[in-house]
């Protein structure tokens, strides 16, 4: 099926309307009409080939909310008109140790929603959510509350799970003192989860004007990264730090803020500089975290519904995507752009 999409044809080109082919539905698949798609910084890294793994044309988008318009005969959990979510993955092997543990994100054959070789169409890459429709196996489709503000649910599919998963892994709870580095799409969800889990949350931001936003989002404190005097107050202070920074940066100053034997989790996908002395003295840990498995993503969506957690979003049309990318790159974000995909059909 030939559909409209929005994507780019080279690392330097703006995104523009494209025509792409969606595969035919199989018995286990859903055909989904896409209603909303969030803009993650990973979309921008990939569109600009910043990780050296992009193939063109590229159609980004992995924070998808849509409506089922057709269901294969083996589909049992959804029916026509169900409102559903699709996140960062659309396939895995279902046989390896990672799949067995419901951590499909670490499957060697995990298929990303966009930018992976398409297992169904030889020679074609998968195309993401900046498009009118998508075909997805039921196993990778999430249940969402149709009564919720769906524009604000979309970012949970990546920014939500990417912050929820490491915070669960490192057992953030009532007595935790945590810091969120970078107040963007991921960071603002980190603040919301931290507060919901009962932690004392400090935002560490490079943008002066975000200090008041951080407090409005629920953070207990906010500190400006470049203010050495203020930063000194937080030495040996945190039980956990979540670093969402999307560019090359030095994590040594952050490691000094951790208490001994505590962890900084990197989710920002960029190189860092690190001196081992800052780990050795204090037996500190640096960890990475990649989205979450399908079951954990459903758990996170249910947790959000229960705790009234939604992303703060700005709704845009496809014509605004390039200017939104500029704003994300400039850290000028409040706090996730979401594309109204109906704007692609007219
Ligand atoms: N591990 C995973 O599974 C996973 C999943 C999704 C995304 N990611 C990665 O996580 C990173 C953050 O994604 P996001 O969507 O939250 O990005 P975002 O909305 O752009 O937020 C990143 C924030 O980092 C801070 N920052 C510091 N220096 C910056 C600089 N030079 N340029 C831009 N921002 C800077 C900014 O906050 P302040 O203004 O407060 O400093 C910015 O708002 C990206 O690298 C993305 O690819 C990883
Ligand atoms: Zn993402
Ligand atoms: Zn597997």
Count CA within 13 A, CB hemisphere, residue 143: 11
The pLDDT of residue 346 is 66
User: From the alpha carbon of 159, which atom of ligand 1 is closest?
Assistant: 6
The pLDDT of residue 188 is 98
DSSP 8-state code for residue 8: B
Cβ 39 under 6 angstroms from ligand 1: no
What residues flank ion ligand 2 with Cβ within 5 A? Answer: 40, 42, 158
CA-to-CA distance for 336 and 17, rounded, in angstroms? 22
Is there a domain that residue 304 lies in?
A: no
Is there a domain that residue 299 lies in?
A: no
- One domain for residues 125 and 24: yes
- One domain for residues 167 and 194: yes
Give 48-72 as a DSSP string: TTTTS---SSB-----EEEEEEEE-
- One domain for residues 146 and 234: no
Chain-centroid distance of CA 7 in Å reads 19
- One domain for residues 168 and 283: yes
User: Which pTM value belongs to this model?
Assistant: 0.98
Is there a domain that residue 216 lies in?
A: yes
User: From the alpha carbon of 329, which atom of ligand 1 is closest?
Assistant: 33
- One domain for residues 143 and 256: no
- One domain for residues 64 and 17: yes
Is there a domain that residue 296 lies in?
A: no
Quote the number of domains for the chain. Answer: 2
Q: Give the C-alpha distances (Å, rounded to integers) separating 56 from 91, 109, 333.
A: 21, 21, 27
- One domain for residues 126 and 207: no
Cβ 328 under 6 angstroms from ligand 1: yes
Q: pLDDT, tens digit, for every residue of 225-236?
A: 999 999 999 999
Is there a domain that residue 52 lies in?
A: yes
CA 164 to ligand 3 center in whole angstroms: 22
Is there a domain that residue 91 lies in?
A: yes
- One domain for residues 88 and 175: no
The closest residue, in CA terms, to atom 22 on ligand 1 is 184
Is there a domain that residue 339 lies in?
A: yes
Share of the chain above pLDDT 90, in %: 99
The CATH number linked to 194 is 3.40.50.720
Terminal alpha carbon distance of the chain: 18
Q: pLDDT, tens digit, for every residue of 165-215?
A: 999 999 999 999 999 999 999 999 999 999 999 999 999 999 999 999 999
- One domain for residues 172 and 150: no
CA 182 to ligand 1 center in whole angstroms: 6
CA-to-CA distance for 80 and 71, rounded, in angstroms? 6
Q: pLDDT, tens digit, for every residue of 328-344?
A: 999 999 999 999 999 99
Cβ 224 under 6 angstroms from ligand 1: no
3-class state of residue 277 by DSSP: helix
- One domain for residues 34 and 169: no
The CATH number linked to 131 is 3.90.180.10
Helix (H), strand (E) at residue 6: strand 2-7
- One domain for residues 93 and 169: no
Q: Give the C-alpha distances (Å, rounded to integers) separating 179 from 55, 188, 204, 263, 335.
A: 36, 12, 7, 11, 18
Across 188-278, where does the E strand assignment appear? 200-205, 221-224, 238-243, 249-250, 258-266, 272-273
CA-to-CA distance for 119 and 226, rounded, in angstroms? 46
Owning domain of residue 69: 2-155+312-344
Is there a domain that residue 300 lies in?
A: no
- One domain for residues 169 and 128: no
């Amino acid at each position: 099926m030939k559909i409209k999409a929005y994507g780019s044809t080279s690392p330097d080109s703006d995104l523009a309307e494209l025509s792409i082919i969606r595969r035919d539905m199989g018995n286990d698949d859903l055909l989904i009409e896409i209603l909303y798609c969030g803009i993650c910084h990973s979309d921008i890294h990939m569109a600009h080939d910043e990780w050296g793994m992009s193939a063109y044309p590229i159609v980004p988008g992995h924070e998808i909310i849509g409506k089922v318009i057709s269901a294969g005969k083996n589909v049992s959990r959804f029916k026509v008109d169900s409102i559903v979510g699709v996140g960062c993955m659309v396939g895995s092997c279902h046989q390896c140790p990672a799949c067995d543990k419901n951590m499909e994100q670490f499957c060697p054959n995990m298929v990303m929603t966009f930018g992976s070789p398409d297992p169904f169409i030889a020679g074609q890459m998968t195309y993401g959510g900046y498009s009118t429709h998508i075909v997805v196996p039921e196993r990778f489709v999430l249940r969402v509350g149709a009564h919720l503000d769906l524009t604000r649910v979309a970012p949970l599919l990546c920014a939500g799970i990417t912050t929820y998963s490491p915070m669960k892994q490192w057992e953030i709870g009532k007595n935790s003192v945590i810091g969120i580095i970078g107040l963007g799409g991921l960071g603002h969800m980190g603040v919301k989860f931290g507060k919901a889990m009962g932690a004392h949350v400090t935002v560490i931001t490079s943008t002066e004007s975000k200090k008041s936003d951080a407090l409005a989002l629920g953070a207990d404190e906010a500190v400006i990264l470049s203010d050495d005097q203020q930063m000194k107050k937080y030495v040996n202070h945190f039980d956990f730090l979540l670093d969402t920074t999307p560019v090359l940066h030095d994590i040594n100053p952050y490691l000094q803020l951790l208490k001994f034997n505590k962890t900084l989790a990197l989710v920002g996908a960029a190189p860092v500089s690190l001196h081992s002395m800052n780990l050795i003295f204090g037996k500190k840990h640096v960890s990475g975290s990649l989205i979450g498995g399908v079951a954990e993503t459903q758990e996170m969506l249910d947790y959000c519904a229960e705790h009234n957690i939604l992303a703060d979003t700005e709704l845009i049309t496809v014509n605004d995507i390039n200017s939104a990318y500029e704003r994300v790159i400039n850290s000028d974000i409040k706090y996730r752009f979401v594309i109204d995909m109906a704007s692609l059909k007219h």
